[in-house]
Amino acid sequence: MTLSEELAAAIRSDYATAPISDRDRAMLDYVVKLTRDATEIHQDDHETLHAAGFDDVAILQITLIASWFNYINRVADALGVGRE
């Protein structure tokens, strides 16, 4: 969460170039990979998150939250929620 509209816009535009911490970038890299193809998540991805300072509980939370958003967006898309 941020109060800076500029930071929020930079993250929306391209988090990879946004002025965020290495820890946040590692988390977002993981979430993007999870979203694109969860079968490509391997132990080295978890090790990267550990190295960034996340423990197993935090990794579980990141995974659950990202997965829930992916799920609910798929449901909404399938039902046409938000379409005209």
Q: What confidence tens digit (pLDDT) does each residue in 56-82 have?
A: 999 999 999 999 999 999 999 999 998
Mind listing the domains of the chain with CATH numbers? 20-79 (1.20.1290.10)
8 Å CB contact between 63 and 33: no
Whether 46 shows a pLDDT value over 80: the answer reads yes
Give the DSSP letter of residue 20. -
pTM of the predicted structure, to 2 decimals = 0.87
**Dist. CA 63–CA 59, nearest whole Å:** 6
Q: How many residues does the chain have?
A: 84
8 Å CB contact between 2 and 8: yes
